[in-house]
Structure 1
Amino acid sequence: MTKMREETEEIPVAVERLLKSVPDSIDPVAAALRARDPKVVVTIARGSSDHAAYFMKYAIELVMGLPVASQGPSIASIYGAKMKMDSAAVFAISQSGASADIVAMAKAAREGGALTAALVNTLPSDLANQCELAVDIKAGEEQAVAATKSYVNSIVAGLAILAGWAEDYTLKNALARLPEHLNTALSIDWSEMIEPVSKANSLYMLGRGPTMAIAAEAALKCKETCELHAEAYSSAEMLHGPVSLVDRDFPVIAFAARDAAENSIVEIVNGVVAKNPHCYISSNHAGDAVRLPFVVTGHPLTDALTLIVPFYRFVEQLSRHRGLDPDKPAALKKVTVTR
């Protein structure tokens, strides 16, 4: 068993461990956000952590009605710009908490007046030290280079903060049931995609809203573990040029949750399936595309999040099928320190 598969299978336990820490580590952050009442939220992250931040963007905008922007860390680390962030809340997300540019941007945000919170898998860490508040996402040690547990737990930490901040009991209840739903997701098999995808030179990952963050993470994992070019697009952008590349040897994987965007994703996929028989979608309304099984969690945000688990299982299998080791991607390190 590879470390990547092992760690993917640890996701439900890691999430349950994190949720048990809500009263001590997450509720204080939610209370601080209610007290500050920010007018905008900013995220600082890179790689899989940035895809977790992308998920939080949609969740915060949907639940709180607040705009969320991603801040380029080089603004502080390279350009040394001073930021005016008095009315902002900032989430800095990092598995290691060690990247100098993320730390520098968090420091600049705090000095600019923002309420800063770090979501990290390593305490103590430089990033946690630079932020007013720090949450241990409790993913546990990750030995595989490709992030799995830390991606999911970063999102769950963000959703738990959001549920407390908004006093959203529907979301709180969905999170309480999430470990069992993630456990179910581990049994879902997407391996029917292995043969057609392994023969491709490139593919698209589609999503919309929160599943766009899942598509972005899925595309990164294809590149990291399978040396396979994949690009993530909003299904709304699919027809604005990218569709011209799609042919029968260009697979499309669409991540659809049980939310308001599901029908629009289905419509786009069904529009390209005539050009390409290798179109896959996690929806019961797949039409002529191939239906991917999924877990119904009872909440659109947790519906979206659970989709990454069968994908992680699939991409680990795909990597081995292509003769690669998903635990040791070429030229990549577990901790990437950027400036």
Structure 2
Amino acid sequence: MTSTTSMMCSEITEQPAALRETLAALLPLTPEIAALGRETRHVLFIARGSSDNAAVYGSYLLQVHCGRLTSLASPSVTTTYGAELDLSGVLAVAVSQSGRTEEIVETMRWAAGCGARTVAVTNGAGAPLAQEADLALVTRAGDELAVPATKTYTTQLAALAVLALGLGADRDRGQLAAVPDTLEASLDSPDGRIGEIVERLVGVHGAVVSGRGMAFSTALETALKLKEACYLRAMGLSYADLLHGPIAVVDGGTPAILVAADSGPTLPGMVELAERVVATGAAAYGIGGGPDLGAACDVAVPGPDLPEWLAPIGLAIPAQIITERLSRRLGYNPDSPRGLGKVTQTS
């Protein structure tokens, strides 16, 4: 069995401070972001792994609140196929915790060579990604020693929220500035239902994790974390994709973990999904979603009190805590999942 503490647990608790420092450093850069925004129309996100899940949040955020068409890059288009595209008018946003993943650096260089302007979102101030971008949004997460990303992930989300403000999102920056305090209060009063969900997940071999809209990014990240640290066969699926067939795999041995903000237009659909899952005899566990989702699920953990556009930053934390506790409960070391390193190189 592993010890009762882990680096991952410590780094989860460091997130309010990391977010506070990140926002203090990045919010003053919104005029520079705005300048790049005036030269571009579309946004191309370049990322892998947890950073790709952060990019999904950025994609929804910029489309809904900035009115900009976004897409997620396929790095193999350049690294494997060597294709050339016309990217004039495109803002390429490369997201990488380390800033040293060669595939991501190469793809950002390719985008610049095809006419794009570039932004790096990274925790590596001196990394190639930050040095070569037109503008670097360097997060202030500090050293992250556990392999599963926690504070580097949520500070990426904060950086993308700053990016949205710079690109014209009509959102209250005071709400963003208040996020660290909200999360600090949440971490100071952990919800006992987290332990109940952990115990219910002991013994299952698979789970479906679903979200919609802004919260879809957190569903994907939760599934990734459960695979990385708990070796659970977790599928991250959007609400719509889940209903188009894969819901058939949800049964007595395969619970659904449903992630939602406490408000917003996607919440009613997530509540209906929880009711449908429970009606089939399967278990539904909620993360966030307020009292409505809580009432529809077998067990639900409340998310921090944040508006929908910022909710994914807060929703990631109970998901991280569930993962860390379940990993240790299963006798694993959440800090060093087998077969994984902190920087993954692909070609």
TM-score tier, shorter chain, comes to over 0.9
Aligned positions, number: 336
Does residue 179 of structure 1 match 2:183? no
- Counterpart in the other structure of 2:67: 65
- Counterpart in the other structure of 1:261: 266
**CA shift digits 1:158-204 (9 cap, x unpaired):** 1012113216352x111111001111332333221112212111001
**CA shift digits 1:111-131 (9 cap, x unpaired):** 111110001111211212332
- Counterpart in the other structure of 1:117: 119
- Counterpart in the other structure of 2:33: 30
- Counterpart in the other structure of 2:53: 51
Q: What CA distance in whole angstroms lies between the structure 1 residues aligned with 2:31 and 2:83?
A: 30
Does residue 17 of structure 1 match 2:21? yes
Offset at residue 288 of structure 1 (A): 4.0
- Counterpart in the other structure of 1:143: 145
Q: What CA distance in whole angstroms lies between the structure 2 residues aligned with 1:238 and 1:8?
A: 29
Q: What CA distance in whole angstroms lies between the structure 2 residues aligned with 1:181 and 1:23?
A: 18
- Counterpart in the other structure of 2:168: 166
CA contact (8 A) 1:277 1:289 kept: no
Q: Percent identity?
A: 33
Does residue 154 of structure 1 match 2:162? no
1:179-328 to 2 correspondences below 5 Å: 179-186=180-187, 187-189=189-191, 190-257=194-261, 258-281=263-286, 282-283=288-289, 284-286=291-293, 287-295=295-303, 297-328=305-336
Q: Could you tell me which amino acid in structure 2 is paired with residue 7 of structure 1?
A: E
Note closer, same or farther for the CA distance 1:98–1:11 as it changes in structure 2 (3 Å cut).
same
**CA shift digits 1:268-318 (9 cap, x unpaired):** 110110223521123311344234232453521122321111111111000
SS of residue paired to 2:270: helix
Q: What CA distance in whole angstroms lies between the structure 1 residues aligned with 2:96 and 2:255?
A: 31
CA contact (8 A) 2:118 2:133 kept: yes
**CA shift digits 1:84-135 (9 cap, x unpaired):** 1001111100011111111111001111111100011112112123321111
Q: What CA distance in whole angstroms lies between the structure 1 residues aligned with 2:267 and 2:33?
A: 30
Q: What CA distance in whole angstroms lies between the structure 2 residues aligned with 1:108 and 1:216?
A: 27
Instruction: Give TM-score, length-normalised by structure 1.
Output: 0.95
Q: Could you tell me which amino acid in structure 2 is paired with residue 285 of structure 1?
A: D
SS of residue paired to 2:336: coil
Q: What CA distance in whole angstroms lies between the structure 1 residues aligned with 2:299 and 2:67?
A: 33
- Counterpart in the other structure of 2:11: 7
- Counterpart in the other structure of 2:130: 128
Offset at residue 31 of structure 1 (A): 2.4
* Backbone CA RMSD of aligned residues: 1.5
Offset at residue 81 of structure 1 (A): 1.4
- Counterpart in the other structure of 1:86: 88
- Counterpart in the other structure of 1:97: 99
Offset at residue 23 of structure 1 (A): 4.9
Show structure 1 runs of 5+ residues with no match: none
Q: What CA distance in whole angstroms lies between the structure 2 residues aligned with 1:217 and 1:231?
A: 10
Runs of 4+ that moved beyond 3 A:
295-298
**CA shift digits 1:222-280 (9 cap, x unpaired):** 01000111001111222211111111111111011111100001101101102235211
CA contact (8 A) 2:139 2:159 kept: yes
The more displaced of 172-181 and 236-245 is 236-245
Q: Could you tell me which amino acid in structure 2 is paired with residue 34 of structure 1?
A: G
Note closer, same or farther for the CA distance 1:239–1:118 as it changes in structure 2 (3 Å cut).
same
CA contact (8 A) 1:246 1:276 kept: no
Q: What CA distance in whole angstroms lies between the structure 2 residues aligned with 1:297 and 1:222?
A: 24
